[in-house]
Chain A
């Protein structure tokens, strides 16, 4: 029999002092009549009100109860999707399904003949989908939804997973008129709170006493019976800490170019368990700081426990490095060995799943297995190697210390006072050249003694692209010639990732289509496998229609198919940092032989554009002789991330850069 816990609140909604009257079920005529959102006329739907209340319950262990109530306005057909909800529920180990949704109620309100009608959702509108071994999904859809409808729903989630309380979002991809969230945490539990986002949320805390009934089991000592456990319920006077959050007129969150992960900027709050202080028990601390988080991860048998194993590789690694003494050479050998034999199964995570030993024998592993194995192998040879916890771009920037904050692990070695980062999961990544998904602000290095330190993951030196092009321009506008393109670091990594899986003809077609339909006559790619050298791509090509031949004149932009034609920054203003992933340097050296019988009539003036604080530079230099045009054009972006303060400047920089690159050279028949 389940005993129902009742938490008696002494004070209830008093705290929603600024809240407008949101009574579930009291939908007004005006709300249904409203045709467009007053603050955002293009919104297909809006959250008129949303309320969350999180309380704790003790029933042989802690549970949280999250009550959610919402009123949503549907303006247009595009907004119909907001009348269907999907709530993920953790299925738990062995499908215990102990996280559940209860007391679901949903109602649609419409106006008929001037009167508000309401229609309740029936059971047929609810579905529980078993997505996979770990997750369920509760879905529901409301009846009778039309343009103008107002819908309401409420439900309660009960969950034993109290270490990390669900993130409460204040901002969505539709506007929110009013949103409140309230947590009521008894003194036995201490949570740390983390806020993110650009939109400001009001916050208020209080505390008060209330009576809480707690149900727990105990064993009577010395008695062995079939029901050795007895259950007891106590009513206790408990001090509760209340925190209330409130957002009004929260605008929708909109994605932009060069944004790392838009979710980083969404206004939201999240709570992580810091300690438990049960009556007559000692206080127990959980992840409060990054040090705690890393320590907890480190102490897990699926992390630290895997790092100390070495027997499984010992002989192989001894064999591998027996001829070399230099530690850097050892590192190179071991790193390449791991990349070569191990195959990443596409699973991320900071913990091993099958363990390093099994991963090694099957040559397949997740991120943790591969990189912890790499770390252990390096350590076995006396290299100062440590794992670095990382949150990938998809996973978002970990703003606060939480175990779920990391989902990836790489390896760092410290040699001669410098730190080198390695990732063994990607065949083409190299020392300090990590896959782009891991370039996400800071990681956390975990030392052998369990202490930890912050590590900047963003590359500081530029990835280069250097193009040398020699072309003959024909008088019918056909271009014929060759270019040689050198790519370093991340540019080379991307190139290798894309082209290594392509058949040769597919590669050629790809190049042809990437460059406005040039016809590739000869091609060669060097160093595809040799990661220590830059990619060198040499292409002989032909391209018709490369210049406009009009009357006795010929017009063309000197970078031809390499011209940047569009400004990537289109928005009027921007709040979020501009994320280029890594510093970049592009340089074009172009030699153009003009057709015989023509002379150069006009050509673009040289230009130098500089961004403030040495953030970047554009240089356009021309050198003209009788029938040869030489150009040197370079663009440098020196920082991986640039503050939004410089947005206008960067937008203007690219505008002028595009204008310069698209300017024409004019030739005239002599």
Chain B
């Protein structure tokens, strides 16, 4: 991962002390408009940020925010914290706490803020730190007024204005003003304004200003788009920027790529001769560049591991390939760049590509070049299209990205300049899973048999990681994967990761006592033991967000059940098929002579975004599938 992508958007400002007096009305919780309390844990009463771009390498940020916390959960929405490092000079930071009636309870000065290392999970060391307010509420509601000011030389990152801050937080008034004093080429990009018509742009020639008023709280709903892709934001960037001692001039993505190449990548791809020769020997018999790349990628995976250290410019510049070659570890930048260097050694061209990682498919902003992204992957152009490599993984197949970086715009950095390209999409039927099972039911209700699971696409991504689990962990995994089967016992398993065609094959021998329930002469069981759709998303009395199915899939199942001697089928569910805009479900139950039943099932779910009104129908569809998947067969003693 990249270093410290700071949540700058939370910092706000006020310059004039005269305003301070007018804001006192915000200190009383009784003045919060009713509509803003609805479903809110906290209310941003007032939030103002003023950014002065004084020169290419000096940005001054002043902020003030007044937040009313309505209940215990709202305590997390205070936003009273400030990340800093050697490039950030904190000039002022202070918080004042008021009770419900606006009486001042406490003032917290800088030395009473907690000062801790901001090393996050997955990172071994970083030089960033965070100052934050630690406060135990004595009653609710209460209000915190927070003001601060800092300076930084890193003008490559200008805070984003994001007046709707999070789930269950409403905003009464939020403004931002940003001034480009010396003609650095300030640019702004508005996002998601359509659903929020009340936002005003009051910019003048010198200053860009936005104001939002009375944004009601939004709550998290299942199967909804990420908040980021829904909430209003304004992004800012300047064309003449500065980052950790390096100046740059960037007007578009081509410039940005060129600047990153010249300042962050040049000179980092040298390797010791030994390693160059080793690569040449390894690929000596190969002609095709992609075949060579496969061998090199495998070498990289087998010989390195992911360790993240982020200090100074190293937060953006990869450590040199020769150093990675020596210690055999690095972060995403280091390992991607190392792979690039190894490929260069065998004459294969590849490119460093900056991306936003995460399953929410966030892309580089179209036509808005700035320092973006939080991860790096490798791009290899070929005659058959682009190949993408995830270099921080020791287990991913060649060319497989999974849902971490799929289907989004990334910045490919080349010596000639940057190019925006899109990574592969995993569409519905590419995300395939086939489960074949054959099992025996005995007269005590116990089952035993064999299950074969084949996955590809995103479903491969969800399954193949267990390949590296320990035996205990794999058994535990299956027990929770088939939590519908009580007393499940994993007799044995065999996993095969077909990396070359990106298929994962699991063969599992299982048994379970009392799978069927007994009722007098009868035995009742669900023939679909191994692929039930079971997670029904929540019902919302008043759905607010659109419905989003972020990735589709295609399941095919075939289960053969051998019935116990001395029993016959008394009743059995009928075949069923449901088709609608969300997908297609089919299930068939076939008697196979007296003693055996075959269940065939298929389910396709389509990726897509639908209006919020469709959510109920979608949930209904899942419930119907769930019901069919749970359908029972009744056996009776003959």
Contact yes or no, A664 B519, CB < 8 A: yes
Contact yes or no, A362 B138, CB < 8 A: yes
Contact yes or no, A130 B327, CB < 8 A: no
Contact partners of A109 in chain B: CB under 8 A: none
Q: Which of A272-280, A376-384, A511-519 is near enough to bind chain B?
A: A511-519
Asked if B187 is at the interface of the complex by the 8 Å CB criterion, the answer is: no
Contact bitstring B316-328, A, C-beta under 8 A = 1, else 0 = 0000000100111
Asked if B285 is at the interface of the complex by the 8 Å CB criterion, the answer is: no
Given B117, B305, B394, B570, which contacts A130 in the complex, CB threshold below 8 Å? B117
Given B73, B327, B626, which contacts A143 in the complex, CB threshold below 8 Å? B327
Contact partners of B541 in chain A: CB under 8 A: 505
Contact yes or no, B137 A343, CB < 8 A: yes
Asked if A312 is at the interface of the complex by the 8 Å CB criterion, the answer is: no
Contact yes or no, B116 A131, CB < 8 A: yes
Given A77, A124, A503, A665, which contacts B39 in the complex, CB threshold below 8 Å? A503
Given B106, B116, B309, B571, which contacts A551 in the complex, CB threshold below 8 Å? B571
Asked if B468 is at the interface of the complex by the 8 Å CB criterion, the answer is: yes
Given B302, B517, B539, B573, which contacts A550 in the complex, CB threshold below 8 Å? B573
Asked if B493 is at the interface of the complex by the 8 Å CB criterion, the answer is: no
Contact partners of A555 in chain B: CB under 8 A: 519, 524, 632, 634
CB distance from A624 to the nearest CB of B (A): 13
Asked if B522 is at the interface of the complex by the 8 Å CB criterion, the answer is: yes
Given A139, A601, A658, A663, which contacts B124 in the complex, CB threshold below 8 Å? A139
Contact partners of B404 in chain A: CB under 8 A: none
List residues of A (557-581) whose CB comes within 8 Å of B's CBs.
557, 565-567, 570
In angstroms, Cα B469 to Cα A617, docked, is: 39
CB distance from B588 to the nearest CB of A (A): 17
Contact yes or no, A132 B114, CB < 8 A: yes
Contact partners of B518 in chain A: CB under 8 A: 663-664
Contact yes or no, A548 B632, CB < 8 A: yes
Contact yes or no, B72 A501, CB < 8 A: yes
Q: Are A363 and B138 CB-contacts (below 8 A) given A551-B634, A663-B519?
A: yes
| Residue on A nearest B619 in the bound complex, by CB | A517
Contact yes or no, A664 B524, CB < 8 A: yes
List residues of B (567-592) whose CB comes within 8 Å of A's CBs.
570-573
CB distance from B312 to the nearest CB of A (A): 14
Contact partners of A76 in chain B: CB under 8 A: 468
In angstroms, Cα B570 to Cα A601, docked, is: 14
Asked if B189 is at the interface of the complex by the 8 Å CB criterion, the answer is: no
List residues of B (380-430) whose CB comes within 8 Å of A's CBs.
394-395
Contact partners of A130 in chain B: CB under 8 A: 117
Asked if B290 is at the interface of the complex by the 8 Å CB criterion, the answer is: no
Contact yes or no, A139 B125, CB < 8 A: yes
Contact yes or no, B573 A144, CB < 8 A: no
Contact yes or no, B136 A346, CB < 8 A: yes
Q: For the side of the interface on B, what is the size category?
A: 35 or more
Q: Which of A38-46, A296-304, A486-494 is near enough to bind chain B?
A: A38-46
Contact yes or no, B328 A129, CB < 8 A: no
| Residue on B nearest A601 in the bound complex, by CB | B520
Q: Are A124 and B327 CB-contacts (below 8 A) given A132-B114, A362-B106?
A: yes
| Residue on A nearest B484 in the bound complex, by CB | A565
In angstroms, Cα B76 to Cα A501, docked, is: 13
Asked if A596 is at the interface of the complex by the 8 Å CB criterion, the answer is: no
Contact yes or no, B483 A84, CB < 8 A: no
Contact partners of B626 in chain A: CB under 8 A: 545
Asked if A599 is at the interface of the complex by the 8 Å CB criterion, the answer is: no
Contact bitstring A646-662, B, C-beta under 8 A = 1, else 0 = 00000000010011001
Contact partners of B395 in chain A: CB under 8 A: 77
Contact bitstring B414-451, A, C-beta under 8 A = 1, else 0 = 00000000000000000000000000000000000000
CB distance from A501 to the nearest CB of B (A): 5
CB distance from B70 to the nearest CB of A (A): 10
Contact yes or no, B571 A553, CB < 8 A: yes
Contact yes or no, A501 B73, CB < 8 A: yes
Asked if A509 is at the interface of the complex by the 8 Å CB criterion, the answer is: yes
Contact yes or no, A144 B327, CB < 8 A: yes
Q: Are A42 and B471 CB-contacts (below 8 A) given A509-B539, A517-B536, A601-B520?
A: yes
Contact yes or no, B472 A145, CB < 8 A: no
| Residue on A nearest B479 in the bound complex, by CB | A570
Asked if B303 is at the interface of the complex by the 8 Å CB criterion, the answer is: yes
In angstroms, Cα B319 to Cα A124, docked, is: 12
Given A43, A344, A665, which contacts B136 in the complex, CB threshold below 8 Å? A344
Contact partners of A544 in chain B: CB under 8 A: 623
Asked if A127 is at the interface of the complex by the 8 Å CB criterion, the answer is: yes
CB distance from B169 to the nearest CB of A (A): 14
Contact yes or no, A143 B328, CB < 8 A: yes
Contact yes or no, A77 B394, CB < 8 A: yes
| Residue on B nearest A137 in the bound complex, by CB | B117
Q: For the side of the interface on A, what is the size category?
A: 35 or more
List residues of A (103-150) whose CB comes within 8 Å of B's CBs.
122, 124-125, 127, 129-133, 139, 141, 143-147
List residues of A (619-670) whose CB comes within 8 Å of B's CBs.
655, 658-659, 662-666
Asked if B470 is at the interface of the complex by the 8 Å CB criterion, the answer is: yes
Asked if A602 is at the interface of the complex by the 8 Å CB criterion, the answer is: yes
Contact bitstring A353-384, B, C-beta under 8 A = 1, else 0 = 00000000011100000000000000000000
Asked if B495 is at the interface of the complex by the 8 Å CB criterion, the answer is: no
In angstroms, Cα B525 to Cα A664, docked, is: 11
Given B469, B573, B627, which contacts A78 in the complex, CB threshold below 8 Å? B469
Contact yes or no, B634 A553, CB < 8 A: yes
CB distance from A570 to the nearest CB of B (A): 7
Contact partners of B633 in chain A: CB under 8 A: 550
Contact partners of A501 in chain B: CB under 8 A: 71-73
Asked if A345 is at the interface of the complex by the 8 Å CB criterion, the answer is: yes
In angstroms, Cα B303 to Cα A131, docked, is: 31
Asked if A313 is at the interface of the complex by the 8 Å CB criterion, the answer is: no
Q: Are A659 and B471 CB-contacts (below 8 A) given A141-B307, A553-B571?
A: no
Contact bitstring B80-96, A, C-beta under 8 A = 1, else 0 = 00000000000000000
Contact yes or no, B117 A129, CB < 8 A: yes
Contact yes or no, A78 B538, CB < 8 A: no
Contact partners of A78 in chain B: CB under 8 A: 468-470
Contact yes or no, A43 B470, CB < 8 A: yes
Contact partners of A346 in chain B: CB under 8 A: 136
Given A80, A133, A658, which contacts B305 in the complex, CB threshold below 8 Å? A80
Contact yes or no, A141 B520, CB < 8 A: no
List residues of A (490-544) whose CB comes within 8 Å of B's CBs.
501, 503, 505, 509, 512-513, 517, 519, 544
Contact bitstring B11-23, A, C-beta under 8 A = 1, else 0 = 0000000000000
Q: Are A146 and B117 CB-contacts (below 8 A) given A44-B470, A80-B305?
A: no
Asked if B110 is at the interface of the complex by the 8 Å CB criterion, the answer is: no
Given B124, B394, B521, B570, which contacts A84 in the complex, CB threshold below 8 Å? B124
Asked if B146 is at the interface of the complex by the 8 Å CB criterion, the answer is: no
Asked if B338 is at the interface of the complex by the 8 Å CB criterion, the answer is: no
In angstroms, Cα B69 to Cα A501, docked, is: 13
Contact partners of A146 in chain B: CB under 8 A: 302-303, 328
Contact yes or no, A127 B73, CB < 8 A: no
CB distance from A104 to the nearest CB of B (A): 15
List residues of B (609-633) whose CB comes within 8 Å of A's CBs.
623, 626-627, 630-633
Contact yes or no, A567 B486, CB < 8 A: yes
| Residue on B nearest A108 in the bound complex, by CB | B328
Contact yes or no, A77 B468, CB < 8 A: yes
Contact yes or no, B329 A145, CB < 8 A: yes
Given B124, B138, B520, B627, which contacts A666 in the complex, CB threshold below 8 Å? B520
Return 22 A-B CB contacts under 8 Å, by A number.
A122-B327, A127-B124, A141-B124, A143-B329, A145-B329, A146-B302, A147-B302, A344-B136, A362-B106, A501-B72, A505-B541, A545-B626, A551-B571, A551-B634, A553-B571, A555-B519, A555-B524, A566-B486, A655-B487, A659-B514, A662-B517, A663-B519
B residues at A contact (CB < 8 Å):
39, 71-73, 106, 114-117, 119, 124-125, 134, 136-138, 302-303, 305, 307, 309, 323, 326-329, 394-395, 468-473, 479, 483, 486-487, 514, 517-522, 524, 536, 538-541, 570-573, 623, 626-627, 630-634
**Interchain residue pairs A-B with the least CB separation, the first 4:** A602-B520, A551-B571, A42-B470, A143-B327
